[in-house]
Structure formats: C-alpha cells, structure tokens
C-alpha cells in the first residue's frame, strides 16, 4: 500500500480505513498480532486483515461487518488525526485546479499543519514531482514526516522545520506553484516569489479573514504578481427525498401524489476561508 499506488492486498504496516458507514470510519495501522475494537466487535489484524483484498467485507467478533478500504488522500482528509485546522476536499479540489498541479509539478507549501492538503498535493504531483512543505512547529513537522514515511510517499516530499516568513522554503527558482495557509501570508510573499521558477508560476493563499486577504493582495501586488483573484467555495448538499404534494383540483383527480425531489440540507458548512490566487509573470 502507498498513498500514490494502489495495492491489492492488505499488508503488515499498511494504513487502512475501517469503514462502518459514510458517517463512521477511522484509520488503522495494520500490525501482526494487533486487534482493533469496533462497535461490531474485534477485528484481529493477523487473521481478519493481512492477506485480504482491499475492499473486503470483514466480519467482526460480534457478527457485524465492516469494509476495509485502501487509503486515499480524500479518505485521509476525512479521518486524519487533527493537530490543526485542516483543508477539506472542496477547497483542495479548487486549489489543485487553479494552481494547475499535475504529475511532475514542483510545489512549495506552508504550513504543513496536519498534512491534509500535503497528501492531496503529493498524490497529484507523483510520480516525478515534489512537495517542499515548511512547518515551524517542531512536533507537527516531525509527525508529518513520520506519516509520509508510513504512507510510503517520503520520496515525494521534503519537510522543513522553519519559519517560512523568516527563512522561506529552502529552495529557489524551482516551484511551479506555492501554497500558503499561515496566519500572516503577506510576510511570506517575497519568499514565495523566490521559490517560484524564474519564468513564472502560480500562488495561492488561504485565509479565513478578509483583512488577511487585503494585506496579502497588497503584498502580492508589491511583488509584481498579476491575475489576482479571490474565491470562496461553498458546498450545497442536496438530499433526494420522496415528497407528497396535493394534486391541483382541476375537476377530476383528487388527493396527493408522490414526487422525488432534491431538497437542500437545512444546515450547510459555511465559510471556511478565502482562496487568493495570482500568477508570477516575467514582465
Ligand atoms: C491551519 S494549519 C495548516 C493546515 C494544512 N493546510 C492542512 O490541510 O492540514 C497552519 C499551520 O501553519 C503553521 N505556521 C504558522 N505560521 C508559520 C510560519 N511562519 N512558518 C511555518 N509554519 C507556520 C502552524 O504551526 C500550523 O501548523
């Protein structure tokens, strides 16, 4: 198993996703001799997991069953241990598209945080690209490194434990794209410009507050970035329901009829943050 290559069977040392339902799943580190408790009973790694195919239905000790899924960056985002606020797949998908990331891209990111975005970037730029990710909190940087090793993507990522606003990304003129998710991104715009390729590239900064966006835009302008654009993405989820409606009284039919209808959820995830994109141009 690796987060960038699909493996058919579950192996000792893999990170697998135990899927109990859409609202209930968790990651598990597969280890010979280990056991995992679920509400359906125990899963014994040696007999129930190792050697089974990913996607298998596994019966737990109390007779209930779960699916064991191959990890993906999307599942990891939904299940990872939170050490910070994280970016979710809705924002990540826009970031990936607007930064024009693809296999082979070189990307700089700060801060690493819980590694949610990092895993998605790594999967996109594999097998020939690279992510340079900078995190000034020592334990977070170390934990991220450890997870990248466990997920067998360490050859695609370099973790640096330093302050990006003071020391930058540790690389010059190599990046196709730079992503910032830090409280004062305007202090890192100069370093982002130096990390980007001489001939140009894309930058994105994520900030929850509009005042941060204003300062970041001013800094981007000062450093000659162009095509500046700030977007906010809101996800509106619809439930498909069967509803009953009164039949209009046109003289014949009476009563109610049943229809399928798409009904938006009463509550939706609100503002996460503003995404400011810009281009480093040669001129
Ligand atoms: C909100 S989290 C990033 C979450 C990440 N995007 C994810 O999806 O998991 C922000 C991180 O930036 C780090 N950070 C803040 N300022 C920094 C700086 N100047 N240099 C490096 N890291 C910084 C924090 O320690 C924190 O871990």
| Summary count for the chain: helices (H), strands (E) | 7, 15
Q: What rounded mean pLDDT belongs to the chain? A: 95
Instruction: Locate 278 and state its tokens.
Output: 């810009």
**Four-residue CA torsion sign, 119, 104, 188, 203:** negative
Q: Which residue has the tokens 């000659």?
A: 224
User: How many CB atoms are located within 10 Å of the residue 46 CB?
Assistant: 14
Q: Domain-by-domain residue ranges, the chain?
A: 15-71, 75-233+270-280
pLDDT digits (tens, 9 = 90+) for 92-141: 999 999 999 999 999 999 999 999 999 999 999 999 999 999 999 999 99
Q: How far is the CA of 166 from the centre of ligand 1 (A)?
A: 14
CATH of 75-233+270-280 given 3.40.50.360, 3.90.650.10, 3.30.70.1560, 3.40.50.150? 3.40.50.150
Q: How far is the CA of 135 from the centre of ligand 1 (A)?
A: 6
Task: Give yes or no for residue 275 CB within 6 A of ligand 1.
Answer: no
pLDDT of residue 86: 97
Alpha-carbon distance 77 to 123, whole Å?
Answer: 13
The three-point CA angle 261-266-268 to 5° equals 110
Residue 269 has pLDDT above 80, yes or no: no
For the chain, how many residues are written? 283
Task: Give yes or no for residue 204 CB within 6 A of ligand 1.
Answer: no
Task: Give yes or no for residue 137 CB within 6 A of ligand 1.
Answer: yes
Confidence of residue 252 (pLDDT cuts 50, 70, 90): confident
Task: Give yes or no for residue 110 CB within 6 A of ligand 1.
Answer: yes
Instruction: Locate 161 and state its tokens.
Output: 């434990």
Q: Whose CA is nearest to atom 3 of ligand 1?
A: 113
Task: Give yes or no for residue 86 CB within 6 A of ligand 1.
Answer: yes
Instruction: Provide the ipTM.
Output: 0.99
Q: Which helix H or strand E contains 278, and what residues bound it? A: strand 274-280
CATH class for the region spanning 15-71: alpha beta
Peptide bond into 111 cis (omega under 30): yes
pLDDT digits (tens, 9 = 90+) for 146-196: 999 999 999 999 999 999 999 999 999 999 999 999 999 999 999 999 999
């Amino acid at each position: 198993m690796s987060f960038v290559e699909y493996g058919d069977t579950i192996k000792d040392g893999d990170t697998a996703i135990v899927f109990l339902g859409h609202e209930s799943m968790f990651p598990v580190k597969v280890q010979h001799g280990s056991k995992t408790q679920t509400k359906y009973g125990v899963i014994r790694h040696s007999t129930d997991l190792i050697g089974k195919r990913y996607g298998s239905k596994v019966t737990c000790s109390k007779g209930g069953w779960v699916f064991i899924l191959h990890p993906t960056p999307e599942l990891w985002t939904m299940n990872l241990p939170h050490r910070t606020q994280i970016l979710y797949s809705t924002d990540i998908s826009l970031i990936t598209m607007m930064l024009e990331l693809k296999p082979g891209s070189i990307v700089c990111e700060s801060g690493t945080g819980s590694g949610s975005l990092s895993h998605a970037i790594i999967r996109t730029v594999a097998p020939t690209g690279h992510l340079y990710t900078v995190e000034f909190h020592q334990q977070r940087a170390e934990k991220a490194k450890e997870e990248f090793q466990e997920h067998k993507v360490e050859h695609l990522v370099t973790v640096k434990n330093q302050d990006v606003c003071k020391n930058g990304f540790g690389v010059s003129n190599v990046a196709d794209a730079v992503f910032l998710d830090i409280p004062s991104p305007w202090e890192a715009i100069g370093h982002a410009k130096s990390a980007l390729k001489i001939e140009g590239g894309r930058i994105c900064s994520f900030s929850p507050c509009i005042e941060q966006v204003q300062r970041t835009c001013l800094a981007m302008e000062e450093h000659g970035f162009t095509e500046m654009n700030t977007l906010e993405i809101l996800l509106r989820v619809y439930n498909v329901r069967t509803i009953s409606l009164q039949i209009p009284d046109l003289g014949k039919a009476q009563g109610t009829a049943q229809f399928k209808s798409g009904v938006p959820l009463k509550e939706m995830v609100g503002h996460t943050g503003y995404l400011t994109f810009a281009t480093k141009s040669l001129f």
